[in-house]
Amino acid sequence: MALLNANRSSISFVRLAMASRFFISNSLYCTSAPFSRSASLFIQPRVNFRLKRVPSRDWSNAVPRRAFISSSISTEAFQESSASKKYGSDQIQVYEILDNAVDEAQAGFANKIEVVLLADGSVCVTDNGRGVLHAGGKFGGESSGYNVSGGLHGVGLSVVNALSEALEVTVWRDGMEYHQRYSRGNPITALKCQNVSNNDSSGTRIRFWPDKEIFTSAIEFDHNTIAGRIRELAFLNPELRIIFRKEDSIPENSLTTEYFYAGGLVEYVKWLNSDKTPLHDVLSFRKVADGITIDIALQWCSDAYSDTMLGYANSIRTVDGGTHIEGVKASITRTLNSLAKKSKLFKEKDISLSGEHVREGLTCIVSVKVPNPEFEGQTKTRLGNPEVRKVVDQYIQEYLTEYLELHPDVLDSILSKSLNALKVTYYIKHASVAK
């Protein structure tokens, strides 16, 4: 729990111990009627119910690719931000609630999320999924509510509840609205139920106020950091629309941004390379094998001299890489060396390009969805599943080989870039020896 970056008294550890129990009373789940599903903003139970999947929609992007970026925030700044590297410890409470909503989208039960930073210091997250999951609802294989799920700890909502001065839960389902309020992990109101006019509406709304007794130095939810994470999630989930609002006591200072990228990872790579000179169009493919979903997009640029490799597992940014990144690197190096030996560009057939050479100028995003991810570390910064490396390696080789053999001009441009990188390394090495 060090990620919460808070000064803790003995009472805080008592509250954290409460996180092992389900945060909401069992009375919320007294009904066994199946939940309805709609495209409006709200909910149902996240497990043990068969519901129609949200249909795929061919929407155009809601905003220009970089229109929502402040002029002071560059692409490079985003890449180095806590949102893309370590999320930012002060924002963990927001991410835990947000990840629950994203899990609903990944499972096909939600297509809209709204995140609001309110002027009173509270945060509100609303989705149009099925509802609040019960304890352990993310786990249990086929009997769980999800094939894949994110979140950093697996008990995020109950921990947020334990660390909140107040937390409100509102659930819409089956023509009813359910509402209950909590304080520091304990319910302080009875469960309230009332009929709603829209019988088809479903969704969940969580609003929380961080506990000032625990976060003795005032916690501030940074708009730009959270926006970076939301942007990532929108790129990674192309059927998901996320609305992000920051309210201000002065209405004209309030901000509202909508994130939606129908192009997914292809748009992500284009956004990252918007200030560079690409050698070719973005290459991308999607493959499902052995229960693992692989999404990859990559592009080499002539005026970039290092690589940008971003890896995600179940929409979690694996900042320290892992088996999916290892698979990509090994496959690209082996495949390009194999194709280089057949190329007329290389006069000496014994030339061998290192991974550093073939990846110069490369921007690559790898997103995998794994049913049983094995992460290294509590914050899930590195993926450890060995089977993921094998699958990623195999299908990247198949895709690149087929594509580059059909597009020799693209192959020549990539190999020329790699060969120049090799020559520069050679000259630098021999220049230093000569001195």
Is 69 or 231 the better-scoring residue by pLDDT? 231
What's the CA gap between 331 and 397, in Å, rounded?
6
Is a pLDDT exceeding 70 seen at residue 367? yes
Q: What is the pLDDT of residues 20-66, one digit of tens each?
A: 333 333 333 333 333 333 333 333 333 222 223 333 333 333 333 32
- Output phi, psi for 48, to 5 deg: 60, 25
* Cβ-contact 191, 180 below 8 angstroms: yes
pLDDT of residue 110: 95
* Cβ-contact 193, 178 below 8 angstroms: yes
**Banded model confidence at residue 388, pLDDT cuts 50, 70, 90:** very high
Domains of the chain: 2-259 (3.30.565.10), 265-434 (3.30.230.10)
* Cβ-contact 167, 160 below 8 angstroms: yes
Is a pLDDT exceeding 60 seen at residue 73? no
Q: Is 129 exposed, middle or buried (0-12, 13-18, 19+ CB in 10 A)?
A: buried
pLDDT of residue 178: 96
Lowest mean per-residue pLDDT among 35-44, 299-308, 347-356, 408-417: 35-44
Compute the mean pLDDT over every residue in the chain, rounded to the nearest whole number.
Answer: 79
Is 146 or 419 the better-scoring residue by pLDDT? 419
What's the CA gap between 68 and 53, in Å, rounded?
30
Four-residue CA torsion sign, 369, 373, 374, 379: positive
Q: What is the pLDDT of residues 101-117, one digit of tens each?
A: 999 999 899 999 999 99
Beta bridge partners of 295: 286, 367
Q: What is the mean pLDDT of residues 302-311?
A: 96
Q: What is the pLDDT of residues 116-139, one digit of tens each?
A: 999 999 999 999 999 876 555 554
At 358 the three-state DSSP class reads helix
CA dihedral 85→91→97→102, nearest 10 degrees, is -30
Is 154 or 399 the better-scoring residue by pLDDT? 399
What's the CA gap between 65 and 61, in Å, rounded?
8
Q: What is the pTM of this model?
A: 0.77
What's the CA gap between 102 and 110, in Å, rounded?
8
Q: What is the mean pLDDT of residues 163-191?
A: 95
